[in-house]
Structure 1
């Protein structure tokens, strides 16, 4: 797909804050990917391979759900667990060579294609 905006960008609309933050996180992960595994959690986890990164995503997803459903858990706990999940999910995408913009585009496509009576997954 080529640019659709007069500015030569894919869209005339500015990227939303979530996309900007995920782009920032991706750049941080790319920088840390080649760091010393002795001093970088990111490098250490990537060195252990895709199965370990995927396992961490699963663990963090479960912890996020548990925090969200726990009436005693405060907002800070839910935010913290969600941040862990997004970090590990972003790392999984990096390990697989998938850019978060592809995920964002898929969500936009689903929104465009959804019928009004349907809910997007």
Structure 2
């Protein structure tokens, strides 16, 4: 069995965005636009933080899945491929986090 990746999820989001909004939550968010999708992303981020602070491992896992899914929907609407985000992360990890943050201020 192969491992499920964020790239797999990105492909599913892209496919489901083209479905009928009556049949797909992804299509409903995609059709509603960036404002609605970003609001939902924010809600999921807050729920993820609450679960982390509470130390609720199971809920943190579930909310993290929701957060990643909604992030990919927001990126899809913005026409930003996951690979672009990964390139930024790859570049940032070439140096320490402290160095990277200091360089961003310049």
TM class by shorter-chain length?
0.7 to 0.9
Would you identify which runs of 4 or more consecutive aligned residues in structure 1 move more than 6 Å? none
Structure number with larger C-alpha Rg: 1
CA distance in 1, matches of 2:53, 2:98: 25
Corresponding residue of 2:66 = 84
TM superposition shift of 1:118:
2.4
Unaligned runs of 5+ in 1: 1-16
Residue equivalent to 1:118: 98
- 2:83 aligned residue: 101
Number of corresponding residues? 99
Match of 1:55 among 34, 39, 42: 39
Structure 2-normalised TM-score?
0.85
Q: What whole-Å deviation, never above 9, does each CA across 1:78-118 have from its counterpart, x for those lacking one?
A: 10000000000011001100011111110111111x25x82
Q: TM-score, normalised by structure 1?
A: 0.75
- d(CA) in 2 for partners of 1:29 and 1:95? 10
Aligned to 2:23: 39
**Which has the larger share of helix?**
2
Structure 2, gaps ≥5 residues long: 102-106
